[in-house]
Structure 1
Amino acid sequence: MGLRMQWKTCYKKLPLAAPWALERFVCRAEALHPEDPHPEDPHPEDPHPEDPHAEYLHPEDRTLLLKPLLLRLSPAQQVTQTPGLWKRQAVRSSLLDAGIPEFQNKEWGENQHVTWESTEYQEHMEPSGSKCRRLSGALVKPLLDSVDCVLLDCDGVIWRGGQVIPGAPQVINLLKENGKRVFFVTNNSTKTRRMYADKLAALGFDASEEEVFGTAYCSAMYLKTVCGLEGGKVYLIGSPAMRQELEAVGIRQTGAGPDPIDPTDWTDVDLDPEVKAVLVGFDEHFSYMKLNRALQYLSRQGCLFVGTNRDTRLPLEGGKTVPGPGCLLQAVETAAQRQAQTVGKPNQFMFDCLASQFHVTRDRCLMVGARLDTDIMLGSSCGLKTLLTLTGVSTVADAEAHQRSGRAERQGMVPDYYVESIADLLPALQG
């Protein structure tokens, strides 16, 4: 049985980078005689401009941007679609090839009209080369097969606070069983690598200290390898964990802990002549005296200025937030009128630090994160594949806003894929 396809489209543009994306289309399949052409369509295989059924396609819409939605053509390609006799199997094949589940297992019975309306454009109407696609079904295994190394943020991806994301330990452990290298990349500077490894083990993850790259450790490595401060001394506005990581690589520090206020003369404070750099991270004892002392050090010629990361807000359970280390860093930058070099995400040094030790290949790496401005930006700037999990602070709407902004500096915050949870990878790994 042949089918006449009547196409009607609404040309309201979507908030997508692909300019041809449509909000919805309606497809109606009209049963026809299998052999005879439509009585009012004398040339079904070679439609003529005077075809009486041209009202199904407005003359201005002869070149439709609808066919790429079915055949997954690139945005640059267009297919001219005119009314005529369509064979049932050809239509069905095109729809199934497009991966549109609404049409799968449909019975195209005689005299049956099939109508499909959808606003699920993000999953079913995107070209294969676009970004911000839902990772599900048949897409998961090819992506995992294309990488040897998986980098994961921690908070919001594999746990929230002290609660593990359901299924996350199984995903991580199965990734390793399947021969993938797995690393944990976090901007949290309040824990050492050893502390993180202990927490991972307690929550059921197969992880070692060497697989953890946090800003406490990476800041110490930056000062040692890039700044050449091994054996030197820094003024630290930071946590005990940062102090431990500095000392572990041979860098001494001063400043950890509370700094009592002595308001007699703010400019006449004791400064250690051996200090060659100021390092700023999360510090629960941050004070005006620490801010002032950092300013005095940074006023000296040749004093280096390094920060762990620029996260200004740290999300907590129940939608609560607290100020992040980026707030402290901005205060010091404002006072010193200098900009710090940061080492945490999205700065590439975190990946470089990891890559230099494990010799991973960029195009064989996947970055999995819950924040667009840190995790996804890091992956994009380093040339990694990127996957956003929606168990953290960023949303698909956030990613789409960056995508449609048209600003090049925001496109790095658009992930290649997104999933509701890291557990969405389980079926492909268990299969």
Structure 2
Amino acid sequence: MPQLGPVVMIKLPRSLVDVKPKIQDESVEKSRIWKLTEINESSQCRSLRLPDSLRLIYTNSGVAILALASNAVHKLWKWQRNDRNLSGKASASVQPQLWQPSSGILMTNDISDTNPEDAVPCFALSKNDSYVMSASGGKISLFNMMTFKTMTTFMAPPPAATFLAFHPQDNNIIAIGMEDSSIQIYNVRVDEVKTKLKGHQKRITGLAFSHTLNVLVSSGADSQLCVWSTDAWEKQASKFLQIPTGRVAPSLADTRVQFHLDQIHLLAVHETQIAIFEAPKLECQKQWFRQEASGPITHATYSCDSQSIFVSFEDGSVVVLTASTLRLRCRISSTAYLPPNPSLRVYPLVIAAHPSEPDQFALGLTDGGVHVLEPLESEGKWGTSPPVENGAGPSATAGAEQAQR
């Protein structure tokens, strides 16, 4: 069994809120200076490193992380319940164990007749953590999470699957985003494509269901969002993301989508911005543009309570935004969780939020490592929310890194 990589423990200081001296003018008091929490050292938060991953997801129970490595093998890291971890849930304070069934079988995706360089790894976990649907450029595989056995494989490329999502009400229905820009609605039970959705110009990079609105939202490398009814599978709306003035949209940019807990508001993640839309009409509520210095946004996700948004960047940094306002609350530098090595350019490719701990997230890095990060126990959360009285918030020096209505 592979050994765990080095474990780094790190800590978080309380954010400082500098209040101006008391003066008579109440409006000035309300516009007090707010200081962003900056985390630059390993002593300022808690971090745990796991090796060898390309994609990752927490199990819905929160007791394990499932990772998909570049060699198409899945690894399941499980936390045990013990004196140091009474809940048995994922924690940066306790090392997990690499779990395998007694048979020793591995969950390995089909990679025959595929070019690893072109493969887009993707997977989805069923709601009850019983099944994982996965692909690494070849056929799609359905695995049993208890036995790791392959239940079935289907849809040999081309086109290859690039994103997978289980229907929220029926585990037998899968939405499959494809390399050729189509979306196939597939019924596993009868091994049949129910319908094919066409509306994007480039490969599908994101899919999200809303069981409240009965819609599927898709996003593509064409920077477009589409809304599909899950009753008749008809397109209800579509919209291209608004690229900031003066910036050139890349020809291929992964756009991800995720529904807020309310199942109405939608988080859209693009390398230039974070945007919040209201479904099903796709009315843009807020946008937050990255600063040039941080490099492109690589991924982002809501926290489990949808109160925060964790955003990762190509320079290795991670920021925490207050979801309702898209205002910066905390910035975590790569130096807080990565050992210094100027010759290696390592940064997060994917960020996953713990399903029940609102301040814990995991980063999947370009070097195959996974880092679980959380604030110090003494702090409990990432930073302090900026004041909102009279519109006060981050100062003008935040540049493009601010929310816009």
Compute the TM-score of the two structures, normalised by the length of structure 1.
0.28
**Structure with the largest fraction of helix:** 1
**Structure with the largest fraction of strand:** 2
Q: Which structure's CA Rg is the greater one?
A: 1
Compute the TM-score of the two structures, normalised by the length of structure 2.
0.29
